[in-house]
Amino acid sequence: MRILCLGFWLTFVFTLPLHAGAEDPFVDALEPCLELFKGEPTDSRYQVVLGQGWTSALFAVAKEDGGNLGSDMCGELGDSDWDTGGPYLWPAGLGEMTERNAVNLEAITPIWLDHIIASARAVNQSREPIRRITVTHLPETAAVLVRVQFAAAKAQAEAPDSVELNQFGVVIARDVRVPDQLARAPAESNATPAVIAEMMSAPTIDPQNALALLLSKTQAEPDAQIIRLTLSSFSAGLVYRNSPDAPIRQTEFNFLDAQASGLADAPFEFPAAFKACNLRLQQVKNAVAKVVLQKRYKSAATRLQHLLLECSVDKPKPHWSLVALEPFEYFDLPGQIE
């Protein structure tokens, strides 16, 4: 099925109208880098970031070398605000890094990019320059997310103005599983790093990356009892214990000014007034992967102050509690623990 779908995508690309050169200056500046894609393996790049005259193709790092993602760079980076430090954490909601997640580099051509940009501009209604285009393969068979970000909103406090499309240039809803910037994998060190990830989204907006950061530091074992998961606009915490008679611990980090810092795992005194859940790590991962797909969550994600996977005396079954601000709103969603 994947081969058939990719073949259809390539057929679509090669049937787009031919022209002498790129129509958009953004694409024209990228052409030397795009030429290098022709000799690249077609099953080893998991995200392609196209900036102002440069590209970064992210590839899997061998597990024996620590896993996560590294990157190949092309072109002059200049004053780009994209974090090029790596290695990067692959979002948990996008599944494992396998050949099924790889981007088909052969399909990223100047002709295809011009088509994508034209479709995005039709929605954006702007001739502002392109800031960045990100191509990410999704877990769904042969599904590709193309995010076009415009430079006009660069100085604004909110996320850059962007349009999301599939590989055929059809506009789709924003996919919260794909962050604008992948989180950096924390360096191995006994000292707590001052900054774990830069320019990331709040845990309430990007629960998958927040959980991935927590799991990168946690001492929780796969069969540990997960008592509560707290994702707020200013912090994140995973409360757990590894056995019934073991002390309760919490893995947490703080989030301020688009930066996550202070990632640590330490003993924690769980309030007696709260009810502990009895989950396993895989159940928590499943719950996070599913809550971001729920319409009610999507509609409130950008104004959420708290997103809690918890249990309570009156609601002992694991559920999501959401607190949104401006305007204030409180509601629950099912935990969907299967």
Give all strands of the β-sheet with 69-75 in edge-to-edge order.
69-75, 54-60, 45-51, 130-137, 144-150, 162-165
The Cα–Cα gap between 167 and 12 comes to 9
Is residue 284 a contact partner of residue 290, using CB atoms and an 8 Å limit? no
- Of 251, 267, 261, which Cα lies nearest the Cα of 218? 251
Is residue 101 a contact partner of residue 95, using CB atoms and an 8 Å limit? yes
- Cα distance between the two ends of the chain: 27
Is residue 168 a contact partner of residue 162, using CB atoms and an 8 Å limit? no
Label the pairing between strands 249-256 and 235-241: antiparallel
Q: How is the chain split into domains, by residue range?
A: 2-165, 197-334
Is residue 264 a contact partner of residue 270, using CB atoms and an 8 Å limit? no
Specify the pLDDT at position 2: 45
Share of the chain residues as helix, strand and coil, in percent rounded to the nearest 5: 25, 30, 45
Specify the pLDDT at position 236: 95
Task: Name the DSSP letter for residue 122.
Answer: H
Taking the whole predicted model, whether its pTM rises above 0.75 is answered as no
Task: Name the DSSP letter for residue 20.
Answer: S
Residue 209's SS3 state is helix
- Of 166, 195, 198, which Cα lies nearest the Cα of 179? 198
Beta strands in the chain (DSSP E): 45-51, 54-60, 69-75, 130-137, 144-150, 162-165, 197-198, 225-232, 235-241, 249-256, 259-267, 304-310, 319-324, 329-334
- DSSP labels for 228-271? EEEEESSEEEEEEESSTTSPPEEEEEEEETTEEEEEEEEE----
The Cα–Cα gap between 315 and 78 comes to 53
Angle between helices 281-291 and 207-217 (to 10 degrees): 160
Residue 139: cis peptide before it, omega within 30 degrees of 0? no
Supply 150's token pair: 């415009």
- pLDDT per residue rounded down to tens, the chain (338 residues): 444 444 545 555 545 554 444 478 889 888 888 887 776 665 578 889 998 878 888 888 777 666 788 887 776 655 456 766 667 888 877 877 777 678 888 889 999 999 999 999 888 777 788 888 999 988 876 688 999 988 865 444 343 478 999 999 999 888 888 888 888 776 554 434 444 445 578 899 999 889 989 998 999 998 899 999 999 999 999 999 999 889 999 999 999 877 888 899 999 999 888 999 999 998 999 899 888 888 888 888 888 999 999 999 888 999 999 998 877 888 888 887 66
The Cα–Cα gap between 81 and 234 comes to 23
Specify the pLDDT at position 72: 78
Label the pairing between strands 259-267 and 54-60: unpaired
